[in-house]
Each structure stands twice: as C-alpha cells, then as structure tokens.
Amino acid sequence: MYFVNEEHERNFNFLLGKYPIATVDKEYQTGFYIVSNPVIYHYCNGNPVIDGNGPFDWFFDENCDKSGLSNGYRQLVQAGIHLYNNFDEFSLYLSLGTWGFELFEVFIQACKIRRGEI
C-alpha cells in the first residue's frame, strides 16, 4: 500500500483504530486514507469526524481554516469526498493538471481502496 511517508501510515492506522467502521466500509477507509496524508491531517487537527458523519466533516466546518491548503491538496480532498459520496465539485481534469507524482499516487491508491483491491 502506498504512503507518502511513515507519518501518513501512522495517521491512517490511528484513524482505522479510532473509527473501526473503516475496516469494513471502503468509502470510510478511502476517506481516512486521504485525510491521513500529513498535510491534510494537519488541517483537520487529527479529528476529521467532527459531527460524527464521516471523514470529511472537517472540510465543511466553517470554523476550520483551510486557506493554507494548496490547490493540489484541496483537489485531493475533493477527490476523496467524490469517492466517499459522489461529491460533484471534483474535477479530474483540473486535478490531473495540478497533482505531482505524490498526490497522483495517493489518488490512485485511494481508487484501489474504494474498488476493494486493497
């Protein structure tokens, strides 16, 4: 399984332990995989499930300051939300033109998780 670094893997394993639904639900697992990326994890303060609804609660929280989140990471989050519940603001076209190798590999891994290949 691809992780950008050891922190990404640690964050992912922590979230799987904290939210066991992600061990049996591919949408949740995909969401937590993306949110566990260290850059993104910083923005959700290690607690993405603010309202108890899902791994992207923090992204829709008005109190969460996402102004420093780069366009590439923001598009990765939107891709994750799309894989989680068909979020219609995601553009694969724009994302492919923005992501470097690392973010693209995270996206591919997220797709594999969502398809049940992992």
* Core vs surface per residue 49-79: b (16+ CB within 10 A) or e: bbeeebbbbbbeeeebeeeebeebbbbbbbb
pTM value is 0.93
Beta-carbon contacts of 102 under 8 Å, excluding residues fewer than 6 positions away, are: 4
Quick: pLDDT tens for 81-108: 999 998 888 999 999 999 999 999 999 9
Confidence band, pLDDT 50/70/90 cuts, at residue 63: confident
Quick: pLDDT tens for 46-59: 778 877 778 998 99
